[in-house]
Amino acid sequence: MVRPATLARAFSRHACGIGEDVGPVLVALLGSVLLSLLAISQVTMVGRDAALYLDLARQAGEHGPTAVFRSYDWPWFSLLLAATRMFFGLPLEAAAYLWCTVFMAGTSALIVLVTLRFSPGCGYWASLVALSLPAFNQFRGDIIREHGSWFFCILALHLGLQWFERGGWWRAAAIQTAIALGSLFRLEAAILVPALAASLLGELNTRQGWKRMLQLNALPLAGAVAAGLALLSGGGTSQPRVAGFVALLDPQALLLSLDTMASQFADTILEYHAKEDARQILLFGLLLTLLMKFCALNGPLCLPFLYRANWLAVGEYWHRLRPLAWTWILYLCVLFVFFIKFRFINSRYTSFLNLLVVPLLTMALILFCRSHARWSRVVVLVLLLLMLANVVSRGPGKTHYLEAAAWMAENTRAEEAVYYEDARIAYYAGRGYPRTDVTAQQVMSANHAPGFRYYVFTHQPDDDTLQPWLAKQRKQLVRRFTNRKGGTVLIIGD
């Protein structure tokens, strides 16, 4: 068992015998850039969201920002890309990868700085953890808004930790500015406002504590007053993303969504006598799913917590990095509400939870290596291999998508009606990014009215479904494209 004195030494500035703090930060910064470049070099085509953001940026450059807001209600990342192209002449895709690389490098460096506050002198371990954690490193080759949100959130928390030590109006304003910038990427970044406020709850029994609370939240309070005056004057807000986020917090609507889901769950799975417990079963099931996904995204970095003594680090994490702990709790609540409302969750959304516990994972790893010194080199080797595994692609890539896009660009006209099961093919064909809620199964259903000249399917329907549908639509298979893994794109036309 690790004694308290050992734990105290682990948290001391010279615990790891490693030099100045600037070294680990530079390692995280430069290592992040190299890993991002490695991940980007293997990208065959951008993701669905990336294609949307890039097409919105193109529209902003051609028709102005107002046109983009008519297509998408939170296009700030796309506007950043459009501005980058306008001022620096970079292609949109290159600009997007540049910003994502910069944001990831900044996030990695900042989380190491935060970890140094938690465990001074052990920054190289933090660099290793930050660069190998699967949760967010797996997205290095992706163009996503989360990169910007993560950067500004960790920046706000870093500034927040400084403010808790020194105070200051300007530092408080910088914190709220960072939160606002993070919210322009992902609106969920706004939870840092109540998270930082919650970290001050223990000080509210004094007058000085209330002054600090006012200092920290002066800008959000001013914004709330301005929004209230706008509502009272009849101006209101026409921003549907903000309205939708606020609507998620409506307890009555949340309970209705939960009851609907529980009712469907009970009717589908549970026996009659267990149906009255459907809500509790569902709540615990959803929470367990989130926690299991959180653990899975930590990869082998969860293993040190199997050693009971390492749980001492959790108490130190709460004591020394309370703003991060409160952010973790509130963001878990946001994910829980999202899960209930939209009935799905993915790794990209949950990764912020893992980013927040990098200091905790680092400390647990250090304590494990102190207690099992002979395994230290093995641990480092495993994390280095994990670092590469996060960014090295072993798949064949979607080359058949690019071949299909090239064929569509050469053999069809832009004004012709085309159904794309995956709109990225349209994007690479130079036809924008058409968005539709109609699935391929719905298109091929008997009650769906025809109206497309071409159909581009990214799955292979079985012949019993495809042949009758082709006969009914008076269409034929024009081209078939496949990749090395057997993935198929079908182009169906006259």
Continuous segment of H or E residues that includes residue 439: none
What DSSP line would sit under 241-300, residue for residue? HHHHHHHHT-HHHHHHHHHHHHHHHHHHT--GGGGGGHHHHHHHHHHHHHHHHHHHHHGG
Q: What percent of the chain stands above pLDDT 90?
A: 52
Q: Is 171 helix (H, G, I), strand (E, B) or coil?
A: helix
C-beta separation of 297 from 135 below 8 A: yes
Question: pLDDT tens for residues 131-144?
Answer: 999 999 999 999 99
pLDDT in tens, 171-180: 999 999 999 9
CB 79 within 8 A of CB 145: no
pLDDT band at 406 (very low <50, low <70, confident <90, very high): very high
What pLDDT is recorded for position 3? 54
Sign of the torsion angle spanned by Cα atoms 352, 356, 359, 364: negative
Per-residue pLDDT tens digits for 297-334: 999 999 888 888 888 889 889 999 999 999 999 999 99
pLDDT digits (tens, 9 = 90+) for 191-220: 999 999 999 998 888 999 899 999 999 998
Average confidence score pLDDT of the chain: 87
Residue type, 439: T
Polymer length of the chain? 494
Radius of gyration of the chain (CA): 26
Whether the per-residue pLDDT at 15 is higher than 50: the answer is no
Beta-bridge mates of residue 327: none
Does the structure show a pLDDT above 50 at 424? yes
